[in-house]
Structure 1
Amino acid sequence: MKTILVTGGTDGIGKGIAMHFLKKGDRVIVVGSSSAKGGVFYQEARQLGAEDRAIYIQANLSLVKENQRVIEEIKDRFHYLDIVVFCAAKHNKEYTETKEGFETTFALAYLSRFLLSYGLKDSLEKSASPVILNVCAPGMKGEVNWKDIQNRNNFEPQKVMFHGSRLNDLSGVSFAENDTAGKIKYILYNPWAVQTSSMLETFKNPLMKLIYKIIGKPVEKAIVPVIELLDNPPAASLSAFRERKAVSLAMETFNKENARKLYNMTLELRKKNRL
């Protein structure tokens, strides 16, 4: 029996992955912000006869302190982790800040994943074959806005979403670079178009919403390549995929110098905010 942590595991792709592993007989820890959705998770686990293997942790992962609390709770309650899957994301229509002073999308879609990756590293290394899978959008072009890393100016939901993926590309690179033990396999994964409510909310144009509904895959289909990767992870310490197709790490979006720059900038942001 494996122990799997899924952030954003009460909705969309995250929920699909969580329920798959529960059905398989594994222990699944889901982190989400809604107690109501957590209740639904427990109800569905009971229907599977898996209530003893289902754990829900309520947390607002856009807050650094909440990430720290989750890390400590995981370490206290569980001896090890085999798999960590990052799915938690929220696509805001306008600029908003957390009470800690970070732009909300940046805090949840990037900073939380950064914190949990390093904070749970020891727990993962106790596993025989540890894996981190970061659901974002590798394989897409784009640049990091170094002058406005948190999109405080000219906030546009779709651009902010893709910008977060560029940050996660670089975060995966720096994690692999900093992981001298080399035991954890870090996978950046692009599911392409998936029919989830959160994705549809990012499109203002009704025509774009309709197109996305047409081309988008249902969650049960979208998670199949994810499960394949988690069951048989690549040998490399870092890999990236767009569905089943490997993404070349030679793309500029995986530039190692930029990855180090972002890593140091992130540490400075935490220091500046005293978190």
Structure 2
Amino acid sequence: MQTILVTGGTDGIGKGVAAHFLKKGDLVIVVGSSSAKGDLFLREARQSGAKERAFFLQANLSLVKENKRIIEEIKSRFNSLDKIVLCATSHKTRKEYSETQEGFEFSFGLAYLSRFVLSYGLKELLENSDNPMILNVCAPGMNGTVNLDDIQCKRNYNGGKSKYHGSRLNDLLGVAFARNDTIGKVKYILFNPWAVQTSGTFDAIENPVLRSITKLLYKIVGRPVEEAVLPIIDLLENPPSPSLSAYKVWKKVSLAMKTFDKENAQKLYNLTVQLLKGV
């Protein structure tokens, strides 16, 4: 029996991954912001006879202090982790720049900083298992650059660009993690699910006309969650051999792309460490 942590595990892709491994007989820890959805996860686990193997931790992962609290709670209750699947995100595109209570741009805090803190903070527990893995659901395989002078997109803020920029930050997170991992035991996978038919994607669109158009488009190009999680499950059960790899659905992404620049990855790592010193 493996121990698997899934952030954003009460919705969409995260919920699909959590349900698969719970059904398979593994111990699954789900982190989410909604207590109601967490209760539903536990109730469904109880109904399926998996009560003893299902755990829910409520947290606002846009806050560094909440990520650190989750890390300490997991360390106090579990001796090791086999897999971490990072899915927590917000599909909402913010019209105006907004910060968390800790002073970080919201999308930056949730989509990048949380994954940085959890990846490094739980590394020790991962190393206690035989074949540890981190799978970061972001968007590798897309072109773009990281503005290292404004990693939180504070200047000339654009909500859509900020979310896209966060995916490029995660590309560099994976590169830096693999390079800085002197033990080299943890495999890091960056995964792009492409278009997935999740309620969160549609609910985040305020304009009803645009929401209807998006639903129609996703019926054509998107895939249901049950199908979208299949390549993720395959990677988790049959991990690639390199310490770092990236995939866009079933297709492997070349790490020679400029978005995986090693020098930029180390610069971003250093900047992030400095930012976290103030929290």
Kindly tell me the number of residue pairs found equivalent between the two proteins: 273
Task: Give the Cα–Cα distance (whole angstroms) in 1 for the partners of residues 77 and 104 of structure 2.
Answer: 29
Structure 1 range deviating more: 243-252 or 157-166: 157-166
For residues 88-99 of structure 1, the aligned pairs below 5 Å read 88-90=88-90, 91-94=92-95, 95-99=97-101
Q: State the 1:199 CA deviation.
A: 2.6
Amino acid at match of 2:261: N
Is the CA contact (8 Å cut-off) linking 1:158 and 1:203 kept in structure 2? no
Gapped regions of structure 1 (runs ≥ 5)? none
Q: Does 1:125 pair with 2:131?
A: no
Instruction: State the TM-score, normalizing by the size of structure 1.
Output: 0.96
Task: Give the Cα–Cα distance (whole angstroms) in 2 for the partners of residues 229 and 253 of structure 1.
Answer: 22
CA deviations 1:156-188 (Å, max 9, x no partner) are: 333222111100000000000000111111000
Residue of structure 2 equivalent to 1:38: 38
Q: State the 1:113 CA deviation.
A: 0.3
Alpha-carbon distance change, 44 to 138 in structure 1, aligned in 2, over 3 angstroms: same
Q: Does 1:108 pair with 2:114?
A: no
Is the CA contact (8 Å cut-off) linking 2:93 and 2:160 kept in structure 1? no
Instruction: State the TM-score, normalizing by the size of structure 2.
Output: 0.94
| Corresponding residue SS for 1:147 | coil
For residues 23-34 of structure 1, the aligned pairs below 5 Å read 23-34=23-34
CA RMSD, aligned part only?
Answer: 1.4
Amino acid at match of 1:192: W
Task: Give the Cα–Cα distance (whole angstroms) in 2 for the partners of residues 40 and 209 of structure 1.
Answer: 26
CA deviations 1:228-272 (Å, max 9, x no partner) are: 00001011000000011100000000000000010011011122x
Residue of structure 2 equivalent to 1:50: 50
Residue of structure 2 equivalent to 1:251: 257
Task: Give the Cα–Cα distance (whole angstroms) in 1 for the partners of residues 137 and 182 of structure 2.
Answer: 23
Task: Give the Cα–Cα distance (whole angstroms) in 1 for the partners of residues 206 and 6 of structure 2.
Answer: 26
Is the CA contact (8 Å cut-off) linking 2:98 and 2:106 kept in structure 1? yes
Amino acid at match of 1:7: T
| Corresponding residue SS for 2:72 | helix
Task: Give the Cα–Cα distance (whole angstroms) in 2 for the partners of residues 228 and 42 of structure 1.
Answer: 25
Residue of structure 2 equivalent to 1:8: 8
Q: Does 1:217 pair with 2:220?
A: no
Amino acid at match of 2:17: I
Residue of structure 2 equivalent to 1:61: 61
Residue of structure 2 equivalent to 1:149: 151
Residue of structure 2 equivalent to 1:266: 272
Q: State the 1:149 CA deviation.
A: 1.4
Is the CA contact (8 Å cut-off) linking 1:157 and 1:202 kept in structure 2? no
Q: Does 1:227 pair with 2:233?
A: yes
Is the CA contact (8 Å cut-off) linking 2:2 and 2:26 kept in structure 1? yes
Amino acid at match of 1:77: R
| Corresponding residue SS for 1:171 | helix
| Corresponding residue SS for 1:144 | coil
Task: Give the Cα–Cα distance (whole angstroms) in 1 for the partners of residues 7 and 175 of structure 2.
Answer: 21
Is the CA contact (8 Å cut-off) linking 1:93 and 1:202 kept in structure 2? no
Task: Give the Cα–Cα distance (whole angstroms) in 2 for the partners of residues 253 and 59 of structure 1.
Answer: 30
Task: Give the Cα–Cα distance (whole angstroms) in 1 for the partners of residues 121 and 246 of structure 2.
Answer: 22
Residue of structure 1 equivalent to 2:77: 77
Task: Give the Cα–Cα distance (whole angstroms) in 1 for the partners of residues 192 and 244 of structure 2.
Answer: 14
Task: Give the Cα–Cα distance (whole angstroms) in 2 for the partners of residues 188 and 139 of structure 1.
Answer: 9
Residue of structure 1 equivalent to 2:186: 184
Q: State the 1:46 CA deviation.
A: 1.0
Q: State the 1:146 CA deviation.
A: 2.4
Gapped regions of structure 2 (runs ≥ 5)? none
Q: State the 1:208 CA deviation.
A: 4.2
Task: Give the Cα–Cα distance (whole angstroms) in 1 for the partners of residues 241 and 205 of structure 2.
Answer: 35
Q: Percent identity?
A: 65
